[in-house]
Amino acid sequence: MQPKQMIHTKQLLSLMILFEFGTAIVVHIGLKSNHATWLSILIAIPGALLLYALYNYLFRQYPELIISAYMRRILGPYLAFPLSLFILAYFIYNAARNLREAGDLLIASAYDETPLFVINATMAIVMIYVLSNGVEVLFRLAQVYIFIILCLGIIGLLAVFFSEEMKFENLLPVNRGNWGAVLNTVYPSILLSRPGKYSHLRRSCLY
């Protein structure tokens, strides 16, 4: 029996922050609302906090159980089983889609002559190797990478700030009356990740 692996709260926080960054660092979200993208993100925050509160409540109620286990207690075995399969399929789909989108992004930005299969296979092999050594390795890497990402982000922000390219007057008017586009961008483009949001990158790689 393998010893129980321990994860520090700082490591968990680092991985959560990196997960939220994702490819949003290079591919902006909420572009349908144009200049009011920042407004859509602010409106989406309360919904995200409600989801977090729900997850936190369930975790505190069932601290020793995984999601499929406490669903059996809440919903019963007949409803929990198909729902657990759906959640499993959803996470598998998300992992596969993120892998494909990351490969498309790398091809569109730098590796335009490298086959997509080679890039995706390399990333998959690296992740398999890391996880084969235990999840602790992944969380330790996250703690290192979050420091690198934050340093690069601060340098980038300072460079933009001192370049005098920031024009705060472009934020006005706050919204040009198109609240429908702002609200439609909140869900599902920001609050939930929508499939195919990088389809333009795929087309650029294929043609």
pTM over 0.85: no
Q: Report the alpha-carbon distance of residue 108 to residue 105 in Å, rounded.
A: 5
Contact status, residue 7 vs residue 142, Cβ threshold 8 Å: no
Q: What is the pLDDT at residue 187?
A: 66
Q: Report the alpha-carbon distance of residue 21 to residue 150 in Å, rounded.
A: 11
Q: What is the pLDDT at residue 20?
A: 74
pLDDT in tens, 88-123: 898 888 788 888 888 888 888 788 888 889 999 998
Q: What is the pLDDT at residue 125?
A: 92
Q: Tell which residue, 75, 12, 29, 30, has the closest CA to residue 182.
A: 30
Mean pLDDT of the chain: 77
Domain ranges (residues) in the chain: 9-16+38-166+177-206
pLDDT in tens, 135-166: 888 888 888 888 998 898 899 888 888 887 77
Top-confidence residue, 74 or 195: 74
